[in-house]
Amino acid sequence: MLKQAKITALSFALLFGLSGCETKEIKEEFRIAEIKPINSTLDVELVWRESAGDGVDNYFSNLSPAAVGDLVFAASRDGEVIAFNKDSGDEVWSTDVRDNPPTIWDTLTFTTVAPEKLSGGITAAYKNLYIGTENGDVIALSQATGEILWRTEVKGEVIAPPAAGEGWIAVTTAAGFVAALHPDTGELRWQIATDVPALSLRGTSSPTIAGGGVLVGTATGKLSVIILEKGIPAWEQAIGVVQGSTELEQLIDADSKPLINGSTVYTIAYNGNLAALDMMSGRVLWKREYSSYRNLAIDTGVIYLTDAKGNVIAVDANSGIEKWTSSELYNRRLTQPVVYKGNIVVGDYEGYFHFINKESGKIAARYKFADYDRSVFWWFVDWFSFEEDGAYTKPVVSGDKLFVQTRDGKVNALRLP
């Protein structure tokens, strides 16, 4: 008994000894920035707030709203796709894309209907909507009516938004395949494989179609270009380089959507680099050491990114020289940045949306969908069902409004003066 007590005491001594030796660097690695009061210089207005089904819960999802004309489109993981009037938030149409959508009887009897597992989209193009699923389907709907036009199966989960361009649709899958489809019929033009390592991030690069090619980041840290006409690789360039010794350090996925500005393409890899390349040849124009799995944004010659640690960074697009870095949102699992009325807007895991002045990098305003924005009934429903209003996908800018969707399925229209 005494021996066991000594062993226990020694274990605690070692534990606290190791804790005492913990370096500041390790503490910083896992620190989550606290939300601190700011001197807000902008007033954020909530224009309307509506529900688009049950949202995405805590599943991985790239379901982002899309805005075209007078409509905003949003979807839930279960399979609901809804069109709202952009100005009023009134529902225009609603479609459940499941083969056997839940009936009123299912609702009354609390019968669970299998979800469609919508995960990649929404992409609006050619007067249609395109959405991918974890079941390996690409689904097209009419923007005007919500009618399901076609459904095509591809090889692997479609967890990134489809791309549209030059008369075609392109998708990537978690199994490493890239496919081109006809936008009106869903007919496969071609489908080719890219390399996938044994361990990679949960995510894929959304493709970009431009200049007769499909540009896509790969799980091996490369930017690859495939000729759209034939489905033949044109060139590829390494963006991420394996440097560490552990499996996590060796993750170099290029999950960011290639961003094109003129004849230059910009991309970024996890544990890798932010790089500018010549679009036709793949020649590297410059590289800078940044790590991210989020899409980039560009405005008036400046690239904006949220890195893997939650820093918001502005980089000159021509030279790669850093203009500013904001570390106030460290480790808050930020969304992709978007540019809106002179600000960079990002959401975080707690549902805060931060408006950062794009010139100075200072937070100018902040908004969170607080309980008083809801009726007592919906506050109780959300609390009872443990729904969360955390941000998981990029905000969408259309006209003078900013549309954001939170994990609980709420679609919100915000506006700055």
Residue 393 neighbours by CB under 8 Å, 6+ apart:
61, 62, 63, 64, 335, 336, 405
Q: Residue 387 has what pLDDT?
A: 46
Superfamily of domain 30-59+297-417: YVTN repeat-like/Quinoprotein amine dehydrogenase (2.130.10.10)
Lowest mean pLDDT, pick from 27-31, 72-76, 306-310, 331-335: 27-31
What does the H/E/C string look like for 141-198?
Answer: EECCCCCEEEEEECCCCCCCCCEEECCEEEEECCCCEEEEECCCCCCEEEEEECCCCC
Kindly indicate the confidence band of residue 148, based on its pLDDT and cuts at 50, 70 and 90. very high
d(CA 227, CA 224): 10
Task: Give the start-to-end residue ranges of the domains of the chain.
Answer: 30-59+297-417
- Do residues 206 and 160 touch, judged by C-beta distance below 8 A? yes
Averaged pLDDT, 32-61 = 89
Q: What is the pLDDT of the chain when averaged over all its residues?
A: 88
Strand-by-strand arrangement of the 137-142 sheet: 62-63, 118-125, 128-133, 137-142, 148-153
Q: Residue 248 has what pLDDT?
A: 67
Residue 115 tokens read as: 């979800």
Question: What's the gap between Cα 9 and its chain centre?
Answer: 48
Q: Residue 388 has what pLDDT?
A: 66
